[in-house]
Amino acid sequence: MNQNHRALWSCAMAAALLLTACGKTNAGSGSSGSMSGSSGTSSAQTQTSAWKTGLGVVTEATDQDRAGKIELAAAAVLLDGEGKLESVLLDELEVSVSADSTGHVTLPTDWRTKRQKGDDYPLAEVSSLKKGWAEQADAFASYLIGMTPEQVSMLKVDKDGKPTGADLLSGCTIAVDRYRDAVTRACANARALGAAKGDRAALGIEAVNGTSDITATDDKDVNAQVDVSIVALTTDADRRVTSAIADMAEPALTVVSDGGVTAPDLVKTKLELGEDYGMRGASALGKEWYEHSEGFCDALKGKTRTEIAGLSGGDADLKALCTIDITDLQKAALDALS
């Protein structure tokens, strides 16, 4: 089932890239001309409008008998005025769930991402490079700098998703297909949100247990769920936020009374759901979730980590823009800035 999902995703992304390429052919040359100083607009203004921030999330859920896994890869990207990658940061969350014949579910006790685990994620000791996950993921991210989204999407991997090029293999031997796809999706989603030359991309993830029951019965299945808040930022030389994108995902595995586990066919984030998330009618502001998210992100711009830590959902200015619970989104933003 996992291979089929990847095949469908590859087809969809190929189509998206073709559309993106068609729409940006003239824009790229125009931006280049403006940045060379040929237009009346100031260079700083042109750079600010042309540089784009993107967040990409790829979630895969698999099941086998009485066990299942959720793997969520996220990428924060900054594209320069020519549409090439200037900055990339990656992270990944793995959640494994199992159940016994009575329907009792065993959930993780550690909800940290691979980057957050650091040395607690035991890759370095078994790696031929003797490098940990973050070192190898950062090596992959560095390899992508200067590439176009199309070049990233065409990066070849072997049947296990691992790199095939010698240059990349010298710093990264882990499977990168999911990270490649997350970066490609981030590029497709990228928008001009205030980032400029000299900024850097940052990424924060806050994952919490979203499961209410731990034993399935004949009358009620268990949804073994993880609630994931993801924030992509760009920061300037003073570590102030220049742009932000906030998203959430709620992937879940279904467990039945005999312990059988079933994975969903497709997991969409709240931003990907858009109007289909269905919050507008219940919102005091009459806004959909993505609009509340945009309000939260507007409140982050120009702030330092200390100032973001002082934000409160009860602040009048923030409540005028966003009334969703910002607790975990705020933690993700702080993590991105740590």
Taking only the tens place, the pLDDT of each residue in 166-185 is 999 999 999 999 999 999 99
Mean pLDDT of 41-54: 64
State the average pLDDT over residues 148-177: 95
CB 323, CB 292: distance < 8 Å: yes
Is residue 19 predicted with pLDDT exceeding 60?
A: no
Strands (E), the chain: 52-64, 67-79, 85-99, 105-106, 200-209, 222-235, 241-249, 252-255, 261-262
% the chain with pLDDT above 70: 86
pLDDT of 318 > 60? The answer is yes
Confidence of residue 50 (pLDDT cuts 50, 70, 90): confident
pLDDT for 40 beyond 90: no
pLDDT reading at 238 higher than 80: yes
Query: What residues pair up with 92 in beta bridges, in sequence order?
Result: 73
Q: How confident is the model at residue 124 (pLDDT cuts 50, 70, 90)?
A: confident
Q: What pLDDT shows up at residue 199? A: 98
Q: What is the pLDDT of residue 191?
A: 97
What amino acid is encoded at 165 in this protein? G
Mean pLDDT in residue range 273-279: 96
CA distances from 209 to 90, 97, 157, 185 (A): 22, 12, 33, 26
Does residue 7 register a pLDDT over 70?
Answer: no
Q: What is the mean pLDDT of residues 290-310?
A: 97
- 142 pLDDT higher than 90: yes
pLDDT for position 24 = 39
Identify the residue with better confidence: 19 or 279: 279
pLDDT given for residue 32 in this prediction: 32
pLDDT surpassing 80 at residue 107: yes
Residue-level pLDDT at 335: 97
Rg of the chain over all Cα atoms, to the nearest angstrom:
21
Instruction: Give me the mean pLDDT over the 46-69 stretch.
Output: 88
Please check whether residue 74 is in contact with residue 56, taking contact to mean a CB–CB distance below 8 angstroms: yes
Helix then strand then coil, % of the chain, to nearest 5: 40, 25, 35
Q: Tell me what pLDDT residue 315 has.
A: 87
Q: What is the pLDDT of residue 300?
A: 97
Which of 88-102, 198-212, 314-328 shows the lowest mean pLDDT across its residues? 314-328
pLDDT band (50, 70, 90) for residue 43: very low
Give φ, ψ of 190 to 5 degrees: -60, 140
CB atoms within 10 A of CB 66: 19
Q: pLDDT confidence of 89, banded at 50, 70, 90? A: very high
Per-residue pLDDT at 4 exceeds 70: no
